[in-house]
């Protein structure tokens, strides 16, 4: 018996398809796909969520002193003239940051092998590139998804059949996070 479905694609195409669908499932919460693909995506998604649940509290908070550029009321950097050159003014700030312990760092890297980076684009057409932001999917898993499933022993996804597709009669399903 095979360990995975080939889905009628080459290995690189199949890996890209599955990575894309797992990323979209975890970002949006549900996807519509065929039954065979959903069963493959489910395996990968369950594994990634399990990593997040196991390592969600495995970090330490550290106080760090850092320099941050001073900004004016418009959000632009404040500059002053020193020796005939404009130089940005920096303030020293103390921040608390989370430092991953080694096992959590390993889990994060395992997740990033599977997940694609997600860029959030605003709906308004003016300034689309300006207001885009990069979503760290590993952080989203640790901070949002893992606490939701903390006291669940598995079975993080659900497959609901919605009927055959019109073109080729392949069984369509909704794969969603429980």
Q: pLDDT tens-digit profile of 125-164?
A: 766 677 788 999 999 999 999 999 999 999 999 999 999 9
Average pLDDT, the chain: 92
CB atoms within 10 A of CB 2: 5
Predicted confidence at residue 123, as pLDDT, reads 76
Per-residue tokens: 26: 């975890």
Q: pLDDT tens-digit profile of 58-87?
A: 999 999 999 999 988 888 888 988 888 999
Domains and CATH numbers, the chain: 23-58+102-178 (3.90.1030.10), 59-100 (no CATH)
Torsion sign across C-alpha atoms 81, 82, 85, 89: negative
How much is the pTM?
A: 0.84
What values do phi and psi take at 149, rounded to 5? -110, 20
Q: pLDDT tens-digit profile of 92-137?
A: 999 999 999 999 999 999 999 999 999 988 777 766 677 788 999 9
Query: Phi/psi zone of residue 163: left (φ > 0), alpha (ψ -120 to 50 degrees), beta?
Result: left
């Amino acid at each position: 018996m095979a360990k995975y479905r080939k889905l009628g694609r080459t290995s690189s195409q199949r890996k890209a398809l599955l990575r894309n669908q797992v990323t979209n499932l975890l970002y949006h919460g549900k996807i519509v796909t065929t039954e065979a693909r959903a069963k493959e995506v489910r395996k990968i998604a369950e594994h990634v969520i399990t990593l997040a649940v196991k390592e969600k509290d495995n970090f330490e908070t550290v106080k760090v002193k850092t320099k941050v550029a001073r900004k004016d009321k418009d959000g632009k950097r404040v500059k002053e003239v020193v020796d005939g050159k404009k130089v940005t003014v920096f303030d020293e700030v103390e921040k608390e940051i989370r430092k991953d312990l080694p096992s959590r760092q390993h889990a994060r890297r395992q997740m990033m092998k599977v997940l694609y980076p997600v860029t959030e684009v605003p709906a308004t057409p003016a300034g689309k590139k300006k207001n885009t932001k990069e979503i760290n999917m590993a952080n989203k898993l640790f901070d949002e998804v893992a606490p939701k499933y903390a006291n669940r022993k598995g079975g993080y996804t659900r497959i609901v059949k919605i009927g055959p597709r019109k073109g080729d009669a392949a069984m369509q399903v909704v794969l969603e996070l429980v």
